[in-house]
């Protein structure tokens, strides 16, 4: 639920803090790195949108670089997947090799939406790709980013990002409301406010008539 809320509120799925306006980032494996490299090298004359949904949310540039460095599967060309998985019907067997390279990529945006394959994160047009073989290759880039970061600019995180499970439930239920749900709740709230106002007016009128 926390990852879903981060995606809905444009928060980094690594640190949980807000992502400022501008590009968003994610880490990609060898196959997607090669595809995005070709897209960025080609003069398409239009924006490229891969409509395949993704289970992984976006993040800050520094956070995604850090993830690429410490993730056992993404950090090295000889790394193997620690456990099997299934993403939108595609099997990812345990022991699968990452491949010769991976990438940290920037996009112009994303959305959480329904697709023929199921609901998920759909990323926009790729803007920049940092290719690497080993996570150690990214150390200089991460150090440079951290030197320019100002901790005073960081906003406090909401309670649902911590250990308040009740706050998570409340925030999740609020996030999944449809426009129709919101309209019904607003109408019910307005009706209750009108009822209380009439009660106060009637009470005041009775006092005057005593």
pLDDT value for 130 = 95
pLDDT value for 89 = 65
Are 198 and 109 contained in the same domain? Answer: no
161 found inside a domain = no
Q: How many domains does one find in the chain? A: 2
58 found inside a domain = yes
167 found inside a domain = no
SS3 of the chain: the string is CHHHHHHHCCECCCCCCECCCCCEEEEECHHHHHHHHHHHHCCCCCCCCCCCCECCCCECHHHHHHHHHHCCCCCCCCCECCCCEEECCEEECCCCECCCCEEEEEECCEEEECCCCCCEEEECCEEEEEEECCHHHHHHHHHHHHHCCCHHHCCCCCHHHCCCHHHHHHHHHHHCCCHHHHHHHHHHHHHHHHHHHHHHHHHHHHHHCC
Are 148 and 210 contained in the same domain? Answer: no
Domain containing residue 30: 19-154
40 found inside a domain = yes
pLDDT value for 175 = 67
Kindly report, residue by residue over 160-186, the tens digit of the pLDDT.
777 777 877 776 677 666 667 667 767
pLDDT value for 125 = 92
Q: pTM for this structure?
A: 0.72
User: What whole-number distance in Å separates Cα of residue 72 and Cα of residue 6?
Assistant: 23
pLDDT value for 152 = 55
Kindly report, residue by residue over 34-58, the tens digit of the pLDDT.
999 999 998 777 788 778 888 889 9
34 found inside a domain = yes
User: What whole-number distance in Å separates Cα of residue 160 and Cα of residue 169?
Assistant: 8
74 found inside a domain = yes
160 found inside a domain = no
CB-based contact 74:104 (threshold 8 Å)? no
Cβ neighbours around 79 below 10 Å, total? 18
* pLDDT exceeds 60 at position 68: yes
């Amino acid at each position: 639920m926390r990852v879903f809320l981060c995606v809905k509120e444009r928060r980094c799925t690594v640190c949980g803090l807000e992502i400022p306006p501008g590009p968003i980032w994610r880490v990609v494996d060898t196959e997607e790195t090669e595809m995005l490299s070709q897209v960025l090298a080609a003069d398409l004359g239009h924006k490229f949108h891969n409509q395949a949904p993704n289970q992984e949310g976006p993040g800050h540039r520094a956070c995604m670089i850090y993830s690429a460095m410490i993730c056992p599967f993404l950090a090295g060309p000889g790394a193997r997947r620690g456990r099997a998985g299934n993403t939108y019907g595609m099997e990812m067997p345990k022991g699968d090799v990452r491949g010769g390279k991976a990438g940290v990529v920037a996009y112009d945006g994303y959305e959480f939406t329904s697709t023929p394959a199921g609901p998920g994160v759909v990323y926009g047009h790729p803007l920049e790709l940092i290719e690497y073989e080993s996570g150690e290759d990214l150390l200089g880039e991460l150090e440079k980013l951290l030197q320019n970061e100002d901790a005073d600019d960081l906003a406090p995180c909401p309670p649902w990002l911590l250990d308040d499970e009740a706050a998570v439930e409340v925030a999740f239920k609020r996030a999944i409301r449809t426009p129709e749900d919101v309209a019904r709740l607003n109408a019910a709230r307005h009706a209750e406010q009108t009822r209380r106002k009439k009660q106060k007016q009637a009470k005041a009128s009775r006092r005057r008539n005593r």
